[in-house]
């Protein structure tokens, strides 16, 4: 909720926080609260294949 939807008076009473401050607070909250779901076994296998292919390509060079 970056945009102020209330009245000017309410924004003024709340300390006149700007969009930049709200964006920074939102970003900090997201970084602190976000939990990355674990990969499935299929996803892990696919990543292993990708890594092996990449390593093979690097060895060729």
Residue 18 has a pLDDT of 85
Query: In the structure encoding, which two tokens stand for residue 50, read together?
Result: 């990708």
0.95 exceeded by pTM: no
Residue 12's SS3 state is helix
Q: Tens of pLDDT along 6-54?
A: 888 887 788 888 888 889 999 999 999 999 999 999 999 999 999 999 9
């Amino acid at each position: 909720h970056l945009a102020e939807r209330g009245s000017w008076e309410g924004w003024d009473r709340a300390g006149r926080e700007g969009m930049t401050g709200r964006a920074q607070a939102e970003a900090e909250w997201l970084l602190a609260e976000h939990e990355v779901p674990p990969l499935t076994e299929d996803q892990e296998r696919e990543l292993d294949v990708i890594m092996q292919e990449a390593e093979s390509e690097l060895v060729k060079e």
